[in-house]
Amino acid sequence: MPEIILGTIVLGLLLSPQLLAGFLAKRTGRNFWFWFLISFLIPIISLIILIFLEDKNPNASSYKLADHVDKDRELK
């Protein structure tokens, strides 16, 4: 049983750069699986590239507030 837990932890650590690249790509409007696979070939370089690429999501920086929230109202 400890071997299974240790194996799972090791597998998670080995796949962490690929998962990070995939989720970062998805967040910036790119294909998760493409960047996940690219990250197997060049793990650190792919992360650096993803950080500097322009965001493809049109409304990533702005978000829609709920109808009852007044955007111009200051918090006191």
Q: Which of 17-31, 32-46, 48-62 has the lowest mean pLDDT?
A: 48-62
The answer to whether the beta carbons of residues 10 and 17 sit under 8 Å apart is: no
pLDDT: is 1 or 28 the higher one? 28
Q: In angstroms, rounded to a whole number, what is the distance separating the alpha carbons of residues 21 and 28? A: 11
37 Cβ partners below 8 Å, 6+ apart?
18
What is residue 25's predicted lDDT score, i.e. its pLDDT? 92
Mean confidence (pLDDT) of the chain: 83
pLDDT: is 22 or 60 the higher one? 22
Query: Structure pTM?
Result: 0.65
